[in-house]
Structure 1
Amino acid sequence: MSEKKKAKKGGRAKSGTLMMIAILLMGSAVVRLGIEAGPAIAREVASLQQDDDAGHADKGEMRGESMPSSAELQEMLAAFKEREAALTAREAEIEDRMKALEIADQAIEKKLAALQDAEEKLKSTLALADGATEADVARLTTVYEQMKPKESAALFEEMDPAFAAGFLARMRPEAAAGIMAGLSPEAAYTISVVLAGRNGAVPKE
């Protein structure tokens, strides 16, 4: 072999050796990086997971504060239903009372109407009675006037003085005088006192 060929072979062998050494060194570096970076990457991943778990926990707590649980919702619903039932019962009670008051008012109105009707009838009856009494008294007065004074005086002697004075006050003066003349002095005096008392009670001008 010539010197040139030997030199070329030696240079190729050195270049190959250097390349192998470089590859080995790079592989070693990669291995060392993997060995050293693995725990760091694991630690970083674990930290990120912890932060994520903490974030989920915080969100869960926030949801727990703002949203009631199913049991609480059921309890609230039961309370609402109970309150609604109480209000419905109260409303029905008030409605029943209103109906009872309305019925009572109608009954009172009917009784008042009946009392007013009875009062009107009573007034009419009293008016008729007063008219009948007045007519009867007027008729008796006429009868006493037409009787003989001696006979009338005998009847007036037995009457109550106030009753007799009432008749004499209605009579004509000459008829009343004839009856008074036929009375006993005691009866005539008593009737005269009653008549004088009646006249004294009359308002004067």
Structure 2
Amino acid sequence: MKTTAKKPATALKQKAKRPRRGLGRLSLAIIVALFASSAAIRFGNGIGLAFAFGSDKAPSNALACANDPGTAALLSALQDREKKITEREGILADRTQALNLADKRIQERLAALVAAEDELSRTVAIADRAATDDVTRLVTVYENMKPKQAAPLFAAMSPEFAAGFLARMRPDAAAAVLANLDPTTAYSISAIMAGRNAGAPEK
């Protein structure tokens, strides 16, 4: 009778112990999770406070987080990156300034070249007008000379040069000069004059 009475009591004790073990493990897991969450919150707050207050005014827990090796490495990496970005911005600013200066100098040189070209064009135009006036005066002189006096001058010229003068002269004056030239010279000058007018369009 006694033996049979003890067995139910032992079974009840074992059943009562099993829930306690499961509850202990659950409580331990909850405590570990709370500690991990608290550490993460402190770590995040420490970084934020370290940035907000600076190293001198930050609370002690912020300084502790800032002095953490991982946090210090992160801050150092961010500072290095910011320094590199600042250096790149400075380099870009210098390059932009140099490009603007070079562009300004190029514009000034172009303006100077345009002004020099305009001046050269005016000088050439003046020289052309002066040369044209000189040729016109010479043509007038040759026209007013006697053909026998003008013929030796044209004979001394190159055929191309003589043809240019004779083409500007009055036809009667040019014919009189050609008549007083050597036939070979007169033929050469006449051939050059005819060749110049060969490509002219017909009216």
Task: Calculate the TM-score normalised by the size of structure 2.
Answer: 0.71
Distance in 2, matches of 1:187 and 1:54, equals 126
The equivalent of 2:34 in structure 1 is: 59
More displaced 10-residue stretch of structure 1: 53-62 or 170-179:
53-62
Alignment gaps of 5+ in structure 2: 1-22, 44-64
Tell me the CA shift for residue 199 of structure 1.
Answer: 1.8
For 1:31-180, list aligned pairs within 5 A. 55-64=30-39, 68=43, 70-180=68-178
The 1:59/1:148 distance shift into structure 2, 3 A limit, reads same
In the alignment, which residue of structure 2 is the partner of 1:203? 201
Aligned counterparts of 2:31 and 2:72: Cα–Cα separation in 1: 27
Taking structure 1 as reference, are residues 57 and 156 closer, same or farther at Cα in structure 2, changes over 3 Å only? same
The one-letter amino acid of 1:62's match is S
d(CA) in 2 for partners of 1:204, 1:106: 54
DSSP-derived class of the 2:102 partner: helix
Number of equivalenced pairs: 158
Paired letter, 2:106: I
Alignment CA distance shift 1:161-1:54 (3 Å): closer
Kindly state the Cα deviation for residue 200 of structure 1 after the two structures are TM-superposed. Answer: 1.1
CA root-mean-square deviation: 2.3
Structure 1 range deviating more: 135-144 or 50-59? 50-59
Larger radius of gyration: 1
**Helix, strand or coil for the counterpart of 1:183?**
coil
Percentage of matched positions with identical amino acids: 45
Specify whether residues 52 and 184 from structure 1 end up closer, same or farther in structure 2 by C-alpha distance, changes over 3 A only: same
Aligned mates of 2:129, 2:27 — CA distance in 1: 114
Per-residue deviation at 1:148? 1.6
Q: 1:181 to 1:60 in 2, by over 3 A?
A: same
Rounded to whole Å, the distance in 1 between the matches of 2:26 and 2:133 is 121
Name the TM-score, length of structure 1 as normaliser.
Answer: 0.70
Pairwise CA distance, 1:132: 0.5
Q: CA deviation at 1:112?
A: 0.5
1:35-70: CA deviations, max 9, x gaps?
A: xxxxxxxxxxxxx99987765444223334565452
CA separation of 1:51/1:181 partners in 2, compared to 1, >3 Å: closer, same or farther?
closer
1:190 to 183, 188, 191: 188
* C-alpha distance in structure 1 between counterparts of 2:69 and 2:87, whole Å: 27
Relative contact order (C-alpha < 8 Å, sep 6+): which is higher? 1
